[in-house]
Amino acid sequence: MAWAPGQKNEMTMTSIGVLYELAKTHPKKVAFIKDKEIWTYDRLAAEVDHLAYGLVERGLRKGDRVALHMANLPEFVVAYHACFRTGVIAAPLKIKNGRTDTAPAAAAADALHWSSGSLQPGCLHRLFNRGGE
């Protein structure tokens, strides 16, 4: 397929790039619905920005790994894209594993932090203290 000059090639856009493009061009379009709660692209992008800012405020930097132990809910979508936004590497873990069963998987992913379920303050837990971190 030939692309018109100046047209974006969807194959080269990242997931976070697509989200922000949709938030810009179709802000009130429905991204998804959870139960009866409607998430527009504008809302999703705003929530991603909010969490991304929080990740940076907590000291996470590009290349750090975060293990996400969360159900397939809006919070997971927000957390996953917030990682993309900041350059943090998201490592999703199976939700059927309990919290104690998750630590070895997070360690295997070399994750410095992990999140379990909630995006409320304090949900990001430090796994390791490496080199004075």
Per-residue pLDDT tens digits for 13-59 = 788 999 999 999 999 999 999 999 999 999 999 999 998 998 888 88
* Predicted structure pTM score: 0.72
Length of the chain: 133
Work out the percent of the chain whose per-residue pLDDT is above 90. 35
What pLDDT shows up at residue 89? 87
CB-facing half-sphere around the CA of 105: CA atoms within 13 A = 18
Q: Using DSSP, state whether 70 is helix, strand or coil.
A: coil
The answer, yes or no, to whether residue 5 has pLDDT greater than 80, is: no
- What region does 57 belong to: left with phi over 0, alpha with psi -120 to 50, or beta? alpha
